[in-house]
A and B are shown apart, each in its own frame.
Chain A
Amino acid sequence: MNTRLAASLTIAGALMGMPAEAKTLRWASPTDITTLDPYAHTESFTTSMLHHVFDPLVRRGRTLELEPALAVSWQTVKPDTWRFALRRNVKFHNGNPFTADDVVASITRILDPGARARGNLATVVRAEKVDDFTVDIVTQGPYPLLLNDLAGIYILDKEWMEANGALKPGNIATGVTTAASTTAVGTGPFKVESYKPDAGTTFVVNPDWWDRPQHNLTRIEFKPVKSDATRVAALLSGELDLIAPAPLQDLQRIAASPGFKVIEEPSLRLIMLSLNVRPELKAMPGQKNPLLDVKVRQALWHAIDLETIRKRVMRDKSRTTGTLVAPPVPGYAKENDAPLAYDQAKARQLLAEAGYPNGFKTKLNCPNDRYINDEQTCVAIASMWAKVGVQAELQTESRATYFPRQDRGEFDVSMVGWATLPPMDGFSVLSSLLTEQKDGYGGSNAGTYSNPRIEELTRKAAVELDETKRRAMLAEALKVARDTVAYIPLHQQPLAWAVRDGVEVPQFPDEYVRLWFANVK
């Protein structure tokens, strides 16, 4: 009797096209969702989580290519004006229809000087409604990366914002909060069911999503678990289906546990060394800075055994690199990617030619909790340099104190990680790392590197709308950077997650977790 009942229920379920059972994905990461207001923060983890609830006008697809989302097509009507045709029959989670008014209200909201994420759409001046399903976005002069920027700008419901007094943005820096800080009304594949900072956030599937779902989830339970050991234990004890990231030191143990596997992918984040090219080194006050000589910088590069770092420190998980962007990023060129060969004799010879046959003294500063095995990498480099006579005085510290000091230019040689996010474009390396600090450029150029050709190329690429020409400019600038050893690139960080068997989650080099591609058995 019972089996017959069960059988008929299954058939009924199949006939109605309903999933036979609820599919829940439980997962954990060390960081939490900072706020539900997408314009109140600039954190990439929170941005990736909110993408489950909100849609942008254009989004990143399965291979990170830009594809239509809430906008179905676009064209540049003038060099500084882009026209977007919007998707019809899209509904917000509260049932309100999606129209051009929502786009204009959202863009206006992020352009508010009080919005923390204002800088993510820096070149946009305004959005104008053409008709109910057409919007113009006006930029400050020609701007090639508008679509890249828009992929991170989520669209909110105008009526909801009006009704809840949330038309003005929140800001985590100044502490401004609105109803949108704790309630998320979007058009995305999932709805927020509950949001408890530090305890967990649950999402339920949005059955009325405009796109055909490629996932089979009905529910996502997210828990922030800060301690690495606890996160791994919770996965192995069956309380979680996915942990991202999985700590590097535990990968072998997880892979050896039956029922679990480690999934890996190279991340976009490149680790490199920044070199101080001010007149003096902090380690040698009163003397000429040896790093001003390109031969010395080449010698330091030749003296690093990248292969050993990859094998020993990074446990075979990283990819060594000779350029400043990862292969999927525009501006990457294969011919730029070979690192200078590990050659101690060559390094000594170059040092001697530059007038430092007995080496010199410098400081080497690294964070110890920001990048994967950052401290160990620097310990290895310091000992490799010692073999060619360069005495690097190593100092490592927490990210909280490291980055402010780096910003203030207190370091000689220091570690930098760069993922070109959010635009995912080589231009971000040029505009932040390779240019002088002025006109809004060079924000992270800690060593004050400067090259007239790169300055010129950066300013040209900033307004070049022809993509082929623009990419050629990026590649040329990155070649100059390599030839002059602007930075010493080390490796591309690995991205490692762990899942239980039966969980299929694609990974992306930008380290975003995109569970609308996840399938659970």
Chain B
Amino acid sequence: MLKVLISRLGQAALVMLVVSAVSFVMFRYVGDPVATLSRENASVEEKAALRRSLGLDQPLVVQYGRFLGRTLSGDLGISYRNQRPVTQLIAERLPATLELVLVATILSLSLGIPLGVLCALKPHGVAARLVQALSLIGISTPTFVTGIVLILVFAVSLGWLPSFGRGQVVDLGWWSTGFLTVSGLKSLLLPGITLALYQLTLIMRLVRAEMIDVLSSDYIRFARARGLPTRYIHFRLALRNALMPVITVTGLQIGSLIAFAIVTETVFQWPGMGLLFIQAVSFVDIPVMAAYLLFVGLLFVLINAVVDILYAVVDPRLRARSA
């Protein structure tokens, strides 16, 4: 067990090192912060001095070495654009993104599971066919289109919901929440739905497939033969078993929701991590980009490591296989 744990952690560290190296090399090609930071009529001397003060005149290897050293000591640098410590920026933006992801996850689970069950129980019914057809649209429409259509309908035409921003937020210590005010809750709806849509269809389809699978298995047939109530068979026996893979997928999906809320956050001007990143890209704000990529890398590495370790704990067969 300990061996598995150590080897997983070693792999995780290696992955993080590769992520940081790749992202660092990439910055060479996203642009030059000196150009975005300079005055329009800056002289050549002024630009050269700026390049020196940022340490950008050094060879790439030296820059990377310094970056690694600082990162390992917990200093992610200071944002060129916001001129504040990057760690502080990320801590500030994290609540916005996490609340959005939470709403999206709740929405997708609370709608996806019942709809999946519906489709599995009455696969040829009108409702099931309709849901299936709609889910195709949901899975194939790009997020920014969904977002803009929702804005046009609910904000511009109907005027029910705000089209951008977080509304009024309440600070609970360092955590700023939109859950405690009406405008905050209203603001969460449209981006929440936009972000949830893909996941919702995914969960619905997964639940449907698993349910159909489970419903045709032997123990369900025996339960039916025993004359147990249908409700009991469907929801206590079949659904419970069908939900196991859904839980795993949801866990992994939360990771990607946090990482890829970028588009939704841009469309709704949601002041979260995705917006922070996209603005860093257009400003060539290297410290923020580096920190964000490291954060996302870390998130996935952690989730995967935890899942793998849990599997090993739960299922002895996996332990034997990996050894």
Interface set of A (CB-CB < 8 Å, partner B): 32, 34-35, 40, 42, 44, 116-117, 119-120, 170-177, 181, 196-200, 223-227, 229-230, 233-234, 236-239, 369, 398-401, 403-404, 407, 418-419, 421, 428, 431-432, 437, 440-444
Contacts and interface: CB of A to CB of B under 8 A. Distances in A.
B40 interface: yes
30 contacts: A34-B83, A42-B42, A116-B37, A119-B42, A119-B46, A172-B83, A173-B50, A177-B84, A196-B271, A197-B82, A197-B84, A198-B276, A199-B165, A199-B166, A233-B155, A234-B155, A236-B156, A237-B155, A400-B30, A401-B31, A403-B32, A403-B35, A404-B32, A404-B34, A407-B32, A418-B40, A432-B40, A432-B41, A441-B43, A443-B41
Contacts of B37: 42, 116, 172-173
Interface string B144-177: 0000100110011001001111100000000000
B304 interface: no
B279 interface: yes
Given A177-B83, A230-B164, A199 B271 contact: yes
Contacts of B8: none
Contacts of B34: 404
Given A230-B163, A400-B31, A404-B34, A443 B47 contact: yes
Contact of B83 (A35, A196, A237, A444): A35
Interface stretch (B11-19, B209-217, B261-269): B261-269
A40 B164 CA distance: 29
Contacts of A223: 164-165, 269
B44 interface: yes
B31 A175 contact: no
Contacts of A199: 165-166, 271
A400 B282 contact: yes
B83 A233 contact: no
Nearest to B51: A173
B58 interface: no
A428 B35 contact: no
Given A199-B271, A400-B284, 5 more contacts: A34-B82, A400-B283, A401-B29, A404-B34, A419-B40
Contact of A119 (B29, B39, B82, B83): B39
A198 B279 contact: yes
A418 B39 CA distance: 12
B: contact size bracket: 35 or more
Contacts of A444: 40-41
Given A198-B279, A400-B30, A401-B30, A234 B163 contact: yes
A229 B47 CA distance: 35
A400 B36 contact: yes
A443 B42 contact: yes
- Residue in A227, A403, A418 with the greatest tally of chain B CB atoms within 10 Å: A227
A398 B34 CA distance: 15
A224 B279 CA distance: 11
Contacts of A419: 40
Contacts of A440: 43-46
Contacts of B81: 34, 172
B78 interface: yes
Given A234-B164, A238-B159, A404-B34, A428 B41 contact: yes
B5 interface: no
A399 B40 CA distance: 13
Contact of B162 (A229, A239, A407): A239
- Residue in A117, A172, A198, A229 with the greatest tally of chain B CB atoms within 10 Å: A198
A40 B31 CA distance: 22
A177 B38 CA distance: 18
B46 A239 contact: no
Nearest to B266: A227
A230 B29 contact: no
Nearest to A423: B41
B54 interface: yes
Interface in B67-105: 77-84
B80 A239 contact: no
Contact of A200 (B32, B42, B163, B165): B165
B275 interface: yes
A239 B278 contact: no
